[in-house]
Amino acid sequence: MLIDVHGHIGRVVKDRKEMLDGPELVKKMDEWGIDRTCVLGLSETPEAEYMESDTDDVIRECSHFPTRLIPFCLIDPRFGLNDPKMDFGWLLEEYVARGCRGMGEMLPKLPIDDPRCLNLFRQVGKFGMPIIIDMNDNPIYYGLRDDPGLPRLERTLQQCPETVIVGHGPTFWAEISGGVSVVERLGYPTGPVRPGGAVPRLMAKYPNLWADISAGSGYGALSRDPSFGPAFMEKFQDKLLFGTDCCLRSSTRKEVRIVDFFPQLLAEKKLSRDAWEKIAHKNATRLLKL
């Protein structure tokens, strides 16, 4: 069994006008050996203009493949009154009733501990849903912002203890290493992982911090250091979630390198079968109550 917690549907509107709909996504899943995929929307957040796909789009496409696709909802923390006391309960109740199992991909260009974000995080936690976030401190791209060492994420974890926050994105995964430079925090660093990373520290300390290993950021963090990556996955095997973050109909298995990463680790006996089973599907099944 393999569950992808980070999939997308929709039309890419910038460089390549591609449409990835439900049937095309399921076809790709079959080719890559993925049994179920969580579909994350984007369009509710203005910064995510690169792909047209809102919660209604997600729910509609997932309804055609109820045994394969799992809908996530998305609410921008500035929605409605743009107020840190905004009540999202009525909307969350509707989305849960329509089958949504989580929220994401949350990526407004705001500090992660902005009062509006904290307000939304707390309310989502009351409905028992996790939130997949994208962290990117580059001011010209989408993504939640934080300072070196992720002190704002730590504050968020402390103030929203009932909400599971699933880390994802370049800035989040760059902080797997200590001594991260400004340039590294905005991209995809390579080379050995240095001791003292914020991500291992926070994952060990806070039960409500999990991680989504999809995209170049997740794959890069786990593969950049052959000795560190497997040890990290063994240590945090109960809090890691497999994902691809595939957005394009034209994406190939060779391009989405995370798909073949784990078979290689298992073949080389660098990762235990128990750890892989949890990352592949058991953790997602438990977190999303599937």
Q: What is the reported pLDDT for 250?
A: 86
Sheet containing strand 209-212, edge to edge, reads: 103-106, 131-133, 165-167, 209-212, 240-241
Question: Which tens digits make up the pLDDT trace of 275-290?
Answer: 999 999 999 999 999 9
Spell out the long-range contacts of 14-23 with Cβ–Cβ below 8 A and sequence spacing 24 or more: 14/49, 14/50, 16/248, 16/250, 18/248, 18/249, 18/250, 19/249, 20/246, 20/247, 20/248, 20/249, 21/61, 22/61, 22/62, 22/64, 22/65, 22/69, 23/64
Q: How far is CA 157 from CA 102, 121, 131, 163, 234, in A?
A: 17, 10, 12, 8, 23
| pLDDT value of position 13 | 78
Instruction: Examine the pLDDT at 244 and tell me if it is beyond 90.
Output: yes
What pLDDT shows up at residue 120?
A: 98
Q: What is the pLDDT of residue 15?
A: 61
First to last CA, the chain: 13
163-211 residue pLDDT tens: 999 999 999 999 999 999 999 999 999 999 999 999 999 999 999 999 9
Mean pLDDT, the chain, whole residue set? 95
Long-range contacts of 228-234 (CB under 8 A, 24+ apart): 228/192, 228/193, 229/193, 230/265, 230/270, 230/271, 232/176, 232/200, 233/271, 233/275, 233/279, 234/271, 234/272, 234/275
User: Which pLDDT score is estimated for 249?
Assistant: 86
- What's residue 191's pLDDT? 95
pLDDT tens for residues 1-33?
Answer: 999 999 999 988 766 677 899 999 999 999 999
pLDDT beyond 80 at 86 = yes
Q: Which residue has the higher pLDDT, 187 or 93?
A: 93
**E strands, 65-198, in order:** 69-71, 103-106, 131-133, 165-167
pLDDT-based confidence at residue 49 (cuts at 50, 70, 90): confident
Structure tokens at 62: 């997932």
Q: Extract the tokens encoding 102.
A: 């989580």
pLDDT for the residue 16: 63
Cα distance between residue 256 and residue 214, in whole Å:
9
Domains and CATH numbers, the chain: 3-288 (3.20.20.140)
pLDDT of residue 270: 95
Q: Is the distance from CB of 124 to CB of 131 less than 8 angstroms?
A: yes
How does strand 19-20 pair with strand 36-39? unpaired
Q: What are the tens digits of pLDDT across the range 115-155?
A: 999 999 999 999 999 999 999 999 888 999 999 999 999 99
Average pLDDT over residues 250-270: 92
pLDDT at 12 (0 to 100) = 85
Q: What are phi and psi of 24, to 5 degrees?
A: -70, -35
Predicted pLDDT of residue 50? 82
Query: What's the pLDDT at 254?
Result: 85
The pTM of the full predicted model, rounded to 2 decimals, is 0.96
